[in-house]
Amino acid sequence: MSNTAATASQELDFVFHGARPSLDFANTLRRRKDPLYLTVDLLHDDPSQDPSSLARWIEACRDNTAWGKTLPGLQHNTPCPSFNEIEQLRQSIFDLAEATLSSGELVDPARAKNAVDTLNTWAQHQPQPQLDTLADSRTFRLRSNMTLKEVLGFVARDAIELFGTSDIERLKECAHERCGILFEDRSQGRRRQWCSMKKCGNRTKANRFSQNKRTP
């Protein structure tokens, strides 16, 4: 990661507009379609970084999403998968999303097959929730036994459920041409256009207003 990209990554944070794990995971690659800025990878670690970006991401998911609250805590000192493994899984999600959203464009069969194989392989590694009993024997909680490898397995399984079921009909990309955020449109009538109305929606409205003012 260049110094410029590293600085940018400190200015950006994880976003949770995807409405499901696999899309929130994909959206850790920020500004991927913005020609005015460097693409920023929020999961690309400095080798000395602890906790890893993947660990920080799943903890942020726990704080910001309903699905994140259902997961076990992370196992202490769980090793992090390599960045190549993280990147390959995320790219597989992008490849299948682009194949799904492409308008009549040719899809590379080999690329699609590789993406499917990657998801199927990672999906074999699933969190195994277990209960712990607290001191009063009346209160229980999930044991913190999830590994970071299982985090990727959880993401892969969600991606399989997205691309392999009717959920795929709700997959969209933010309508702002410089955004690229993926999300599942759960709105009534599937009318959602933006990753966030506060961000891209308002930005688009402001641009239109500015253009209208300049038009004689």
Give the mean pLDDT of the chain. Answer: 87
Q: Is 190 left (phi over 0), alpha (psi -120 to 50) or beta?
A: left
pTM of the shown model: 0.86
More confident residue, 110 or 49: 110
- Reported as a pLDDT band with limits 50, 70 and 90, residue 9 is very low
**198 backbone dihedrals φ, ψ, rounded to 5°:** -70, -25
* 109: number of Cβ within 10 Å: 9
Give residue 103's Cα distance to chain centre. 23
- When comparing pLDDT for 26 and 208, which is higher? 26
DSSP notation for 47-96: TT-SS-HHHHHHHHHHHH-TTGGGSPPBPTTPPPPPHHHHHHHHHHHHHH
Is the CA virtual torsion 61, 65, 67, 70 positive or negative?
positive
Q: Over 90: is that where the pLDDT of 30 sits? A: yes
* Third-level CATH fold of 3-211: Jann2411-like fold (1.10.3300)
* 3-state per-residue secondary structure call for 151-177: HHHHHHHHHHHHHCCHHHHHEEECCCC
Q: How far apart are CA 188 and CA 103, in angstroms?
A: 24
For the cut 80, the answer to whether the pLDDT of residue 35 exceeds it is yes
Residue ranges of domains in the chain = 3-211
So what's the pLDDT on residue 141? 87
Q: What pLDDT, in 10s, does the model give residues 158-195?
A: 999 999 999 999 999 998 888 999 999 999 888 899 89
CA–CA gap between residue 157 and residue 150 (Å, rounded)? 10
Q: Which two tokens stand for residue 90?
A: 């995320």
